[in-house]
Amino acid sequence: MPRSVNGFASSLILAIALVVSSDESANALCGAGLQASTSPLNSNPLALLRSPKGRAVPASIDATGTVDASALLARWLETVPDGATIVFKRGGIYRMDRGLKLTRRRDLTLEGNGATLKMNPAATCGRDCSLVYLARGNRGISIRNFKLVGNNPTPGVYDPSLEQLHGITITASHDIEVANTLINGVGGDGIYVSGWSDGVWIHDSRVVSNGRMGIAVTAGKNVTVERVQFNKVGYGVFDIEPNDEAGGATNVRFVGNTIGSITMPYPKGFFFGANGAAGSTVNGVTVSDNTITGDALHTFVNFTRRQNIAITGNVSLVAGHGPILRIAHVDGLTISGNLQPLCSGTLARVDDSSNVTYGDP
């Protein structure tokens, strides 16, 4: 049964996990990740495409991947009115020397139609090399049915020189949807959310490999990530990390996702983190019903004060040495129903926190 700690928890050790016996075979499991499945969550996320209607990308823009398409795409998009559906060539490959950048657009649907946006291997334009870049002031943008391919020469491995090259960047934008999209080989984050973007829904998609975070939120509210598969993550799967005290996160949900492996070894690599700048606000975060097959549920929320965080119903298939969840300075914490094989130690250590509720699986 769940138990509550009313008031202040100066130091709380939680032993809520499956304990692996200490024989030789069990010890071999500790620190050994399973190979991530190469199958997407629901077969191929682009397999059930219908013939979409809308404004077709002109045939004069190269869709063979031979020459840069980004400049002509940008010019043509300027002629498309708000409220339109933009349809890319089915199976087309668009070479991008810079990302597809939108600023102050309204109610646009980017219908990939199974097309690939592929970053030029020689491109080094930082965040402007995000395959899709919602720069500022956008509202009501839907990104659907794309393959977004980055230029990381070592997919799924962190390289600080490539960490700004994201699959999708969402900055200071509202009511954004990412659906049925595959992201692979980006040097930075699968998707990066900043500028207090509001109403971001990322679902039914797949991040095959990324160099830094699967999902990063530096300033966002009402963000939901659900039914997304992350195969090979370079650094951290789900990261809330405000860059300064003006950043933060409110009402963020990471639910029902599947994760393969994390390349960065523990204690740097992690499943979930909510740290970042002192003085920033992080309030109302739910991390629930996720499954990781190639690593433990390593969680770090222990740098600065946070409010109302729930970590429930998550499952790891890989044994680790506890504590797996390292949490401090949280007011309003729920830990319940997580299944994590242990070689030693406990599932969680909680310090300097109040209103803590925890329960057995």
Joined tokens for residue 14: 């939680």
Residue of 175, 168, 192, 170 lying closest to 108 (CA atoms): 175
Cross-strand pairs, 282: 249
What pLDDT, on a 0 to 100 scale, did the predictor assign at position 125? 81
* Contact assessment for residue 141 and residue 180, using Cβ atoms and an 8 Å cutoff: no
For 48, residues 6+ apart whose C-beta sits below 8 A from its C-beta are none
Q: Count the neighbouring beta carbons within 10 Å of the beta carbon of residue 39.
A: 11
The single-letter DSSP state of residue 73 is H
What pLDDT, on a 0 to 100 scale, did the predictor assign at position 44? 54
pTM of the model: 0.91
Cross-strand pairs, 8: 354
What pLDDT, on a 0 to 100 scale, did the predictor assign at position 359? 80
What is d(CA 326, CA 302) in angstroms, rounded to the nearest whole number? 7
Q: What does each of the 361 residues of the chain score in pLDDT, given as a tens digit?
A: 444 444 445 555 654 444 443 333 333 357 554 433 434 434 455 555 567 899 999 999 999 999 999 999 999 999 999 999 999 999 999 999 999 999 999 999 999 999 999 999 888 788 888 999 999 999 999 999 999 999 999 999 999 999 999 999 999 999 999 999 999 999 999 999 999 999 999 999 999 999 999 999 999 999 999 999 999 999 999 999 999 999 999 999 999 999 999 999 999 999 999 999 999 999 999 999 999 999 999 999 999 999 999 999 999 999 999 999 999 999 999 999 999 999 999 999 999 999 999 885 4
For 162, residues 6+ apart whose C-beta sits below 8 A from its C-beta are 151, 152, 187, 188, 211
DSSP string, 186-229: BSS-SEEEETTEEEEEEEEEEEEEESSEEEEESEEEEEEEEEEE
What pLDDT, on a 0 to 100 scale, did the predictor assign at position 121? 87
Write down how long the chain is.
Answer: 361
What is d(CA 161, CA 171) in angstroms, rounded to the nearest whole number? 21
Joined tokens for residue 147: 């393959």
What torsion, rounded to 10 degrees, do the Cα atoms 148, 251, 271, 101 define? 20
What pLDDT, on a 0 to 100 scale, did the predictor assign at position 122? 82
What pLDDT, on a 0 to 100 scale, did the predictor assign at position 35? 39
Phi-psi region of 93 (alpha: psi -120 to 50; beta: other; left: phi over 0): beta
Q: Which amino acid is at 113?
A: N
What is d(CA 208, CA 38) in angstroms, rounded to the nearest whole number? 8
What is d(CA 35, CA 194) in angstroms, rounded to the nearest whole number? 32
Any idea what the Cα angle at residue 344 is, between residues 343 and 349, rounded to 5°? 125
Joined tokens for residue 61: 């823009």
Consecutive H or E run containing 25 = helix 24-29
Q: Count the neighbouring beta carbons within 10 Å of the beta carbon of residue 292.
A: 27
Go through the domains of the chain in sequence order and give each one's CATH number.
Answer: 31-318 (2.160.20.10)
Q: What is the dihedral sign for C-alpha 207, 178, 106, 281?
A: negative
Q: Which amino acid is at 42?
A: N
